[in-house]
Amino acid sequence: MLTRSIGRYLSWPLDRLAALIARTGIPPNFITWSALFLNLWAGILFAAGRFATAGGMMILAGLCDLLDGRVARAQNRVSIFGGFLDSILDRYADLILFLGLLVYYTRVNRFLYAVLVGAAMAGAVMVSYAKARAESLVPNSEVGFWDRPERLALMILGALVNRMPVVLWILAIGSNITVIHRILHTWKQTKDAAPLPVSSPMGARPAQVHPASLPHGVARDVPESRPILTRTASRGR
């Protein structure tokens, strides 16, 4: 995608900056929380109608988002929880930004724009949710364009040039089209898959399958209740 292509060009200076920050001993989680607080500030500025300043705060928050994973790797502090925390705080940051816009357009009595903010907010949440659910079902869920980096880049641009209504139209329509795209993509990959087993009634014993009845090549020594780790979270996703 576009932002990933740009990110490749910025990889070298970001790695150098992350290495400098890593030497200070600042924990990666501190940088992750800093991104949330900067986005909170941006949301307050949106609510006050100070769009250009809010765009500047979003740039600083985005820089923190780009650095926390790199600092974690430089300090050898990459963890599953760190990636989980990063994802959760990113969702809160998205909602805070849209909430700030919603407060502003409600305050100035622009009902249509407030509705667009709501539609864009719903699309942003569902794009992330659709991807998370699809990843638990299919091997490849990387479809659609309006992932978080693209949405934030467009919002920053709209804030800096004071064209947020145009941005809201694009996000309200485009992000929900991405959700539909991911639904169709997941449906195509799962329609020929074997159906999931039906849960047994409460108290009933699950049906036992004799190993001899299994097709040739199927593992026959897998415990019935072995937990399966489907995906490992990490920073810098």
Tens digits of residue pLDDT in 63-106? 999 999 999 999 999 989 988 999 999 999 999 999 999 999 99
Q: Which domain holds residue 29?
A: 8-190
Examine residue 26 and state whether it is found in any structural domain, yes or no: yes
In the predicted model, is pLDDT for residue 206 greater than 50?
no
Q: Is residue 222, in this structure, part of any structural domain at all?
A: no
Q: For the whole model, what pTM was predicted?
A: 0.77
Alpha-carbon distance values, 221 to 178, 194, 211 (Å) = 41, 20, 9
Query: Which of the four pLDDT bands, split at 50, 70 and 90, describes residue 5?
Result: low
Residue 10's pLDDT band, with cuts at 50, 70 and 90, is confident
Asked if 63 contacts 212 with a C-beta cutoff of 8 angstroms, the reply is no
Question: Do residues 161 and 109 lie in contact, with contact meaning Cβ atoms separated by under 8 Å?
Answer: no
Q: Does the pLDDT of residue 131 top 90, yes or no?
A: no
DSSP SS3 for 78: coil
**pLDDT of amino acid 115:** 96
- Look at residue 213 in the predicted model and tell me its pLDDT: 45
pLDDT digits (tens, 9 = 90+) for 21-47: 999 999 999 999 999 999 999 999 999
On whether the CB atoms of residues 199 and 162 are closer than 8 A, the answer is: no
In 3D space, the residue among 70, 78, 92 whose CA is nearest the CA of residue 22 turns out to be 70
- Has residue 81 been placed in a domain? yes
| Cβ neighbours of residue 92 closer than 8 Å, sequence gap 6 or more | 36
Q: What pLDDT is stored for residue 146 in this prediction?
A: 86
Long-range contacts of 164-169 (CB under 8 A, 24+ apart): 164/51, 164/101, 165/113, 165/116, 168/101, 168/113, 168/116, 168/117, 168/120, 169/116
Q: Tell me the CATH number at 38.
A: 1.20.120.1760
| Number of domains the chain contains | 1
User: Is residue 144 assigned to a domain?
Assistant: yes
Q: Is residue 40 part of a domain?
A: yes
pLDDT band at residue 231, thresholds of 50, 70 and 90?
very low
Q: Is residue 19 part of a domain?
A: yes
- Lowest mean pLDDT of 62-76, 77-91, 118-132, 214-228, name the range: 214-228
**pLDDT higher than threshold 80 for residue 167:** yes
Q: Using CA atoms, how far apart are residues 102 and 108, in angstroms rounded to an integer?
A: 10
**Residue 71 has what pLDDT?**
94
